[in-house]
Amino acid sequence: MSVGTGEEGLSTKIIEVHDFKQLEELGRKNIEGKIVFFNRLMDPTMINTFGAYGKAANQRTRGAARAGVFGSVGVVVRSLTTSQDDFPHTGVLMYNDTVPKIPAVAISTNGANLLSEWLKIDTELDFIFRTTCYELPEVTSYNVIGEIRGSKFPDEIITVGGHLDAWETGEGAHDDGAGCMQSIEVLRLFQKLGIKPKRTIRAVMFMDEEVAQRGGKEYARQGALKKENHYFALEADRGALMPKGFGVSALDDRLEEILALKKYFEPYGITYFKKGGGGVDIGPLKQFGTPLSSFVPDMQRYFDFHHSGNDTFEHVNFREFQMGSAAIASFIYLIDKYDL
Amino acid sequence: MSVGTGEEGLSTKIIEVHDFKQLEELGRKNIEGKIVFFNRLMDPTMINTFGAYGKAANQRTRGAARAGVFGSVGVVVRSLTTSQDDFPHTGVLMYNDTVPKIPAVAISTNGANLLSEWLKIDTELDFIFRTTCYELPEVTSYNVIGEIRGSKFPDEIITVGGHLDAWETGEGAHDDGAGCMQSIEVLRLFQKLGIKPKRTIRAVMFMDEEVAQRGGKEYARQGALKKENHYFALEADRGALMPKGFGVSALDDRLEEILALKKYFEPYGITYFKKGGGGVDIGPLKQFGTPLSSFVPDMQRYFDFHHSGNDTFEHVNFREFQMGSAAIASFIYLIDKYDL
């Protein structure tokens, strides 16, 4: 994620900011040689936690590149979570080639609050900054795919996928071990129940979702090379939390028919069937006109886990996981059965 | 919960049963002198987990009394939870005076599965049964009440309550520390937001919900003695999980108006507004014709915690707790504001 700064680390002044505009107001004279501490909260009043994440994320993705312009020597970024915890929540960070690549680290929300309090007492605080992170050389890795061949239209492929890679701070249990397992569960449940789908159902564990989505891109590239017929695709990448429903992107008539599946799910409290679905791994299938959908679980607890050491197996609730698997398997079953 | 059996415990044969009918089929000849192991599952396929609990609960509440009829010397009861864990989940148990009071203990779901497996291998298994539980003498305890006096109709009382007592295996965080705190939160949020309710809002922490509901009964008895006007009551006793809505019991016109509040909550995904509400603590207020309501959070994880050592503070998710408090405070605010 970031550039190391040696064994002794760096001891220098630190300055708290909340957005990029503030960097410009402060200017090089106040920032040069200092560490910039981005402490913008992920807005807890937003019911759409992914929206709140989106509004706070640029301090992590672009903070180092932006602070570097003003001569900052490193950035410390408040973790993107509404929970108060001691876990640094990490994630992708982008540099650009015109600015020095200064190191960046995440600080937990508890740590950020404490640091902010200290800075109120003493603005001349020395901050010791040491990171041992480095980037490993790239290696070849693979998507992992399993399928049940269709009984009637084997060439029509329904993809159900999650991603295999994860931020190394935790186990990637919710992001996205759960999505991988729930995709495999579709195949297992079909087999266990003796369901023989008309179409080929593929569980795909995509590689490299977190950095450059090369697994998803390659999957679609191979699909084009092999002239595959991608009938439908679903991505499960929002954690194994209580199923709420599905988001779907498809053309109007087909969209309407798919969203009408809601009636089968309502008795289980699964009522979110709305336009707008997909996922970064299945996104490249759009070139084939394939309808894309997202499994949508409850999002209130997701950022408690996301990209942190808290994203571990024991934080996956088995009942929620099972209910999600059942919802996805039922959805795919109905898509195939009713030729939607 | 049960009767002790001495330092050495009791070593005897154990027989697995799933319902009371089986006890009758087996009869005294197969049960006398043995321990009865009630191993009926809490049905994981039921979406209504309280319904699943209800269908499995009599083995705990009545199992000892029923097994005692056939000369059993003790009962071991499978924990009432759909989770697979190592926590014995406890709860109320009733004897009757015509049958010997034999001891009863809970066994965790993992323990029950293991015991059942062992009994398949060896039906003559010796089971060593020792319990150090005993009943303490009764002491006087109290409901705890705080209120904001109404600005316009101070004599009209809106009660918002949870219960103070809990099974001692855990901390009673979800059952019902959370309900107590969420009731207090209604008062705190009103104060913080400068809301001056027209009616008196009372946060009531009821005593003795778990055994004989004497706190709830006394609250209503005092209400009758003091000729109080109980305008509305809500009970929060289903854990601090994601708010789903409210159940309401009221006369037809008033019920309809209260359920129509749904529109204010829908943007937050809070959509359960249905007839049928109350709670054992506020139940006795029914004598006054008071509309009774229940806070209804998601119920899929509740029995992971309920009456077990797993019901601890760290298993209360702060965001879910806050969303529940906000939902309850908003509901009470609207009831008062629109004179519902």
- Chain B contact set for A298 (CB, 8 A): 242, 298
Please give the helix or strand (H or E) that residue B148 lies within, else none. Answer: strand B144-148
Please name the residue that has the structure tokens 């705990």: B60
Is A123 part of the contact surface with chain B (CB cutoff 8 Å)? Answer: no
C-beta separation of B300 from B174 below 8 A: no
Provide the b/e sequence for B32-41 (b: ≥16 CB within 10 Å): eebbbbbbbb
- Of the candidates B53, B83, B269, B44, the one whose C-alpha atom is nearest the C-alpha of residue A326 is B44
- Chain B contact set for A267 (CB, 8 A): 47
SS3 B134: coil
How many Cβ pairs closer than 8 A exist between chain A and B? 43
Q: Give the nearest partner residue to A300 out of B82, B301, B320, using CB atoms.
A: B320
Q: Do B319 and A47 touch (CB under 8 A)?
A: no
Q: Give the nearest partner residue to A317 out of B268, B301, B323, using CB atoms.
A: B301
Q: Report how far residue A244's alpha carbon sits from residue A277's, in angstroms, rounded to the nearest whole number.
A: 14
For an interface test with B, give the residue of A85, A242, A303, A319 to mutate (most B CBs within 10 A). A319
pLDDT of residue A125: 92
**Which homologous superfamily does the CATH classification assign to the domain defined by B144-337?**
Zn peptidases (3.40.630.10)
pLDDT of residue B9: 77
Q: Give the nearest partner residue to A268 out of B47, B83, B323, using CB atoms.
A: B47
Is A136 part of the contact surface with chain B (CB cutoff 8 Å)? Answer: no
pLDDT of residue B268: 94
Dihedral (CA of A164, A261, B266, B82) sign = negative
Tell me the two tokens of residue B11. 């070593």
Report residues of chain A scoring pLDDT below 50: 1-5
Per-residue pLDDT of chain B (340 residues; tens, 9 = 90+): 334 445 677 889 999 999 999 999 999 999 999 999 999 999 999 999 999 999 999 999 999 999 999 999 999 999 999 999 999 999 999 999 999 999 999 999 999 999 999 999 999 999 998 888 888 999 999 999 999 999 999 999 999 999 999 998 899 999 999 999 999 999 999 999 999 999 999 999 999 999 999 999 999 999 999 999 999 999 999 999 999 999 999 999 999 999 999 999 999 999 999 999 999 999 999 999 999 999 999 999 999 999 999 999 999 999 999 999 999 999 999 999 999 9
Q: Do A47 and B242 touch (CB under 8 A)?
A: no
Is B271 part of the contact surface with chain A (CB cutoff 8 Å)? Answer: yes
CATH placement of domain B10-129: 3.50.30.30
- Chain A contact set for B267 (CB, 8 A): 47
User: What is the ipTM for the molecules in this complex?
Assistant: 0.91
Q: Report how far residue A256's alpha carbon sits from residue A184's, in angstroms, rounded to the nearest whole number.
A: 27
pLDDT of residue A7: 62
pLDDT of residue A133: 84
DSSP code for B81: -
Domain locations along chain B: 10-129, 144-337
Is B44 part of the contact surface with chain A (CB cutoff 8 Å)? Answer: yes
pLDDT of residue B306: 97
Pairing of the two strands B144-148 and B199-206: antiparallel
Chain A residue with CA closest to B318: the answer is A83
Is A84 part of the contact surface with chain B (CB cutoff 8 Å)? Answer: yes
Residues 6+ apart with CB under 8 A from B321: B178, B181, B182, B240
For an interface test with B, give the residue of A174, A264, A300 to mutate (most B CBs within 10 A). A300
Instruction: Count Cβ atoms below 10 Å from residue A75 Cβ, excluding itself.
Output: 27
Q: Report how far residue B177's alpha carbon sits from residue B171's, in angstroms, rounded to the nearest whole number.
A: 8
Pairing of the two strands B104-107 and B126-129: unpaired
State the pTM of this model.
0.93
C-beta separation of A337 from A119 below 8 A: no
Q: Do B271 and A267 touch (CB under 8 A)?
A: no
Give Cα separations from B264 to A141, B101, B185, B243, B330 (angstroms): 50, 52, 20, 14, 9
**pLDDT of A138-166, one tens digit each?**
999 999 999 999 999 999 999 999 999 99
Q: Do B319 and A83 touch (CB under 8 A)?
A: yes
Is A244 part of the contact surface with chain B (CB cutoff 8 Å)? Answer: yes
Least Cα separation, residue A124 to chain B (angstroms)? 34
Q: How far is CA B55 from the centre of its chain?
A: 15
pLDDT of residue A314: 93
**Count, residues in chain A:** 340
**Class of residue A11 by CB neighbours under 10 A (exposed 0-12, middle 13-18, buried 19+):** exposed
Residues 6+ apart with CB under 8 A from A340: A232, A254, A257, A258, A261, A334
Q: Report how far residue A4's alpha carbon sits from residue A130's, in angstroms, rounded to the nearest whole number.
A: 7
- Of the candidates A221, A156, A147, A159, the one whose C-alpha atom is nearest the C-alpha of residue A190 is A147
Please name the residue that has the structure tokens 């929060």: B236
Instruction: Give the count of alpha carbons within 13 A of A90, CB side only.
Output: 20
Q: Do A301 and B317 touch (CB under 8 A)?
A: yes
C-beta separation of A215 from A163 below 8 A: yes
For an interface test with B, give the residue of A48, A318, A325, A330 to mutate (most B CBs within 10 A). A318
- Of the candidates B42, B31, B30, B112, the one whose C-alpha atom is nearest the C-alpha of residue B64 is B31
- Of the candidates A117, A34, A47, A46, the one whose C-alpha atom is nearest the C-alpha of residue A76 is A34
**Count, residues in chain B:** 340
- Of the candidates A311, A308, A312, A315, the one whose C-alpha atom is nearest the C-alpha of residue A60 is A308
Provide the phi-psi class of A9: left if phi over 0, else alpha when psi is between -120 and 50, else beta.
left
DSSP code for B87: P
For an interface test with A, give the residue of B242, B319, B325 to mutate (most A CBs within 10 A). B319
Chain B residue with CA closest to A314: the answer is B85
Give Cα separations from A169 to A60, A164, A207, B190 (angstroms): 16, 15, 18, 41
